[in-house]
Each structure stands twice: as structure tokens, then as C-alpha cells.
Amino acid sequence: MRLILLGAPGAGKGTQAKFITEKYGIPQISTGDMLRAQVKAGTPLGLEAKKHMDSGGLVPDAVIIGMVKDRLNQDDCKNGYLFDGFPRTIPQAEAMKEAGVALDFVLEVDVPDEDIITRMAGRRVHLASGRTYHVKFNPPKVEGKDDETGEDLIQRDDDKEETVKKRLEVYHSQTKPLVTFYSNWAATGDAKAPKVRKIAGVGSVEEITTRAFDALK
């Protein structure tokens, strides 16, 4: 099983990625993890990436594709792999295609923007313990206070409504077009093109997982 998992920030991709990787016995490949591993190991690609990261720039696609190919040669990828958060843009998808990275499916977890804003903007965190709450779905016993210590809960900057809206805008402008890219490729009848599937990411975790597994048959 070789697939790309797509979905807006807060769509619940991380949760589904865990179930899919367990079911198929495949690793979850995140470019962030890969970058950190290569930088830490001091590989030529890692050093090249670090140069760009240190200057505050983006790591070039060529470097990332090099890391992806490197990663796919490792033993745990023999049965497949799940890409999470990559490719993010059309040029990255084209570079993957040119590099001959094999894919079976592109699975999009679709959640309406207003649901994502409700989900993320309602999150509250107790920083010291990492305990998380939600003002609507999992409220603390006392508003704004941690159940166990009574200390204040905070809203992370990433979860503030204006930040969530900005992240959704970036997703719609850069990443959402990947669905069209892969759909158009599949429409050409090319045997190497992945099958594109879309599932609703609203409902219980179990319901969404069932939809994901059904879509990957």
C-alpha cells in the first residue's frame, strides 16, 4: 500500500495515518521527520537542507525529493509507505512523478472549513501536562481551568481563528490543487497513476477509519 494522505490542517489526517500504517504495516513518511533525521545524521542532503533552514529559506524540492528516494530505499518501505504532508505543491508532485515514486492511492480527508475552524479554535491546552480540552466537544469541568491542577488553560497561537483561516487559505491555494493534478493524471489511463479517493472526515473516528479502509480497497 503506497499512498498520499491529503487534507486540510485539522482534518484528522494524523489519527487516520496511524490506523492505516498499523493496518498495512507501512511507515508514515513525513518530510519534517526526514529533514530532522538527515540534518541530525549530517548527511550531504541534510547539510544542504540545514543551510537553507538556517537562512530561513525553504528547502528546495530537489533536496526533499532526494531525501524521499533515500527514505524509500529503506527496509521498512518494502510493503509500502504513507506520505503525510508531502507533496504540498504541484512542482513537488511533478518531481515525485518524474522520480518514478510509485503510488497506489491518493486519499483526501475532506472536512468543511467551518468545521475545521470550530475544531481548532476551540482547543485549549494545559501547558505543563499537555492535557488538551475543547470548549465544545471536551470542555474542562471549570471553564478555562485544568481539571487536575486548576491552573489556567491557554489557546495556542496555531489554534487561533485568524491563524487557522490563514492556514486553510494556504491549503486551498497550494495543496488542494494536488487532487486535480492526480485526478487528471488518472484520467489519462496511465497505469502508474494512483487512484484518487475522497472520504468525508466528519463523524466519529471509527466511522472515518471505516470509510478510509473501504476507499483503499
Give me the catalytic one of 50, 131, 145, 167: 167
Give me the catalytic one of 71, 97, 119, 123: 123
- Asked about 131 being catalytic, the answer comes back as no
How many angstroms separate the Cα of 198 from the Cα of each of 15, 48, 215?
Answer: 16, 36, 8
Q: How far apart are CA 47 and CA 62, in angstroms?
A: 14
What's the N-to-C CA distance of the chain in angstroms? 10
What are the cell numbers at 164? 487557522
Residue 26 CA, chain-centre distance (Å), reads: 16
- Asked about 156 being catalytic, the answer comes back as yes
Sign of CA dihedral 151, 131, 201, 33: positive
Give me the catalytic one of 141, 156, 166, 192: 156
| CB proximity list for 9: less than 8 A, separation 6 or greater | 116, 120, 164, 167, 168, 171
Give me the catalytic one of 36, 69, 88, 160: 88
- Asked about 88 being catalytic, the answer comes back as yes
Give me the catalytic one of 2, 13, 71, 211: 13
Contact (Cβ atoms closer than 8 angstroms) between residue 67 and residue 159: no
Task: Cite the active site residues.
Answer: 13, 88, 123, 156, 167
